Amino acid sequence: MRFDTVIIGGGLSGIACGIRLAEAGQKCAIVSQGQSALHFSSGSFDLLGRLPDGQAVTDPLAGIAALEESDPQHPYALIGAAACAAYAAEAPELLRRAGIRVAGDCRRNHWRITPMGKAKTTWLTIDGYLTAPEPGQLPFRKVCIVNVEGFLDFYPEFIAEEFSHHGIECCFGSINLPDLEQIRRNPSEMRSANVARVFDHDRNLKALAARIGEVVGDCEAVILPAIIGITRNDSLEVLRRHVAQPIFLLPTLPPSIPGIRAQQALQHRFRALGGEYFLGDSVLRADFDGPSVKRIYTANHGDIPFEADHFVLASGSFFSRGLVATPDRILEPVFGVDTQYVPDRAEWYTLRFFDRQNYQAFGVRTDRTLHALRQGAVIENLYCAGAGLAGFHPVQDGCGAGVSLLSALSVADRILNDKQS
């Protein structure tokens, strides 16, 4: 099979790169093993929350400019501050064209509300989720927190305690419907995705709206866990039409409904543009022709190779097995490209879970144009994007989604420029 570009990995970075290339007319394929980290998404996309020294970032683009001096191996520094600013403006439009409505400003972080009710800075948040310009500046003083009976991945009491620190009064309501009884019999089935499928039926969604109307009382707003809209886009709008008070969603523990919806929307957009998405397949090996990748072979296609002018390695980090750890090394298993890591395994991590962990910055070594390196030499038609890149701490620095999106757009631009030259 012959393509212009083959992308290994169907997470946020891989599929964003594929959409950008397909929009430019390229024939693209994505090979994806299955679930990506999007299934654990909070409904928000971070650009930059902290600098490596721990300093909080208010203006992400100013923070990215500072990284060019303080951390030249950071993916943002490799891409360049000016290019990052352009891609940070382009990324929300790419998401919106896929049907993912987001709000946010790359010049100023806003605050999203976590499943525990705490405020955390972010760049973009999907419409309908509770946000604030500053911690404590929520658009209500009394709120009703509604949960489904038996749903254990949402914590109204913790949220209420956190809100009380900001002078916000909370009351509670619970929902129970006959169609929920079947999944309630097994606590392991009472998860957000299964509950959301129940509420995708009109009768249950209207029953939910009616129950909210009964319990909301004199509250100014309603907070609901993100347990609606796994297969339909209008669930929140339907509820808002039937309930007088504004309704806001909060993310739950995984699996994440906003993340699943975003993954589905991006896949649909890619396929609508003519892209081919090979879900449930994995790349086993690659053939090289001098300094270039010639073809790859996958588990499902056996001896039938994927050939392309360009390849993009967007297979992620350890979670998705884009990187593999042995007792003494960090490996990239498909192309055998060079990786960056600390040789002494004792320094890979610290015993304090929330401390800055060295292993989170391990990844694929690239040149300044994000070409992967193999034995120190540039692979001319293989780029790396997303979580598999070396040199950044996605959790502590609050930049995981931003690196995925901006590196994807940077790689797509370089591929398109290569085709034109």
Could you list the pLDDT tens digit for every one of the 421 residues in the chain?
999 999 999 999 999 999 999 999 999 999 999 878 888 888 999 999 999 999 999 999 999 999 998 999 999 999 999 999 999 999 999 999 999 999 999 999 999 999 999 999 999 999 999 999 988 889 899 999 999 998 989 999 999 999 999 999 999 999 999 889 888 877 678 889 999 999 999 999 999 999 999 999 999 999 999 999 998 889 999 999 999 999 999 999 888 899 999 999 999 999 999 999 999 999 999 999 999 999 999 999 999 999 999 999 999 999 889 999 999 999 999 999 999 999 999 899 988 888 889 999 999 999 999 999 999 999 999 999 999 999 999 999 999 999 999 999 999 999 999 866 5
pLDDT the model gives residue 421:
59
Phi, psi of 364, deg, nearest 5: -75, 135
Rounded CA separation 386/381 (Å) = 17
pLDDT at 102: 97
What pLDDT is recorded for position 88?
98
The residue written with tokens 């129970």 in the block is: 176
Counting beta carbons within 10 angstroms of the beta carbon of residue 307, is it exposed (0 to 12), middle (13 to 18) or buried (19 or more)? middle
**Number of Cβ within a 10 Å radius of residue 4:** 18
From-to residues of CATH 3.50.50.60 in the chain = 2-107+260-420
What are the C-alpha distances in Å from 94 to residues 217, 357, 406? 40, 32, 11
User: 130-250: which CATH architecture?
Assistant: 3-Layer(aba) Sandwich (3.40)
Q: What is the location of CATH 3.40.50 in the chain?
A: 130-250
Q: What angle do the packed helices 192-199 and 257-272 form, to 10 degrees?
A: 70
DSSP reduced 3-state for 253: coil
Q: Which residues touch 382 (CB under 8 Å, ≥6 apart)?
A: 292, 293, 310, 311, 312, 313, 335, 337, 371, 372
What is the reported pTM? 0.95
Output the pLDDT for position 184.
81
CATH match for 2-107+260-420 among 3.40.605.10, 3.90.79.10, 3.40.640.10, 3.50.50.60: 3.50.50.60
- Identify how many contiguous H helices and E strands the chain contains and give both numbers: 11, 22
Measured distance CA(331)–CA(346) in Å, rounded: 17
Residue 297 has a pLDDT of 97
Name the residue type at position 21: L
pLDDT score recorded for residue 266: 97
